[in-house]
Amino acid sequence: MMNVIEFFRNLPKKKCSVCGDEMEEKADCYGNVCDECDHPAR
């Protein structure tokens, strides 16, 4: 039986499409942009 946690652990890390940094999976979906690049004040 497949462990759900193992499944998510095996997923590749998301990368920011702007700066290319790896980013944590977020609950709300902003697309593929990290917090730094997504910041409206920058």
Q: Name which position in 2, 8, 11, 19 contacts Zn ion (CB under 5 A).
A: 19
CA dihedral sign of residues 25, 14, 36, 42: negative
**Residue 37 is encoded by which pair of tokens?**
């690049």
Q: How far apart are CA 22 and CA 38, in angstroms?
A: 14
Note whether 35 binds Zn ion by CB under 5 A.
Answer: no
Distance CA 28, CA 25 (A): 9
Tell me the closest approach of the beta carbon of residue 8 to Zn ion, in angstroms: 22
- By the rule CB under 5 A, 18 interacts with Zn ion: yes
Tell the smallest beta-carbon distance from residue 20 to Zn ion (Å): 7
Footprint of Zn ion (CB under 5 A): 16, 18-19, 34, 36-37
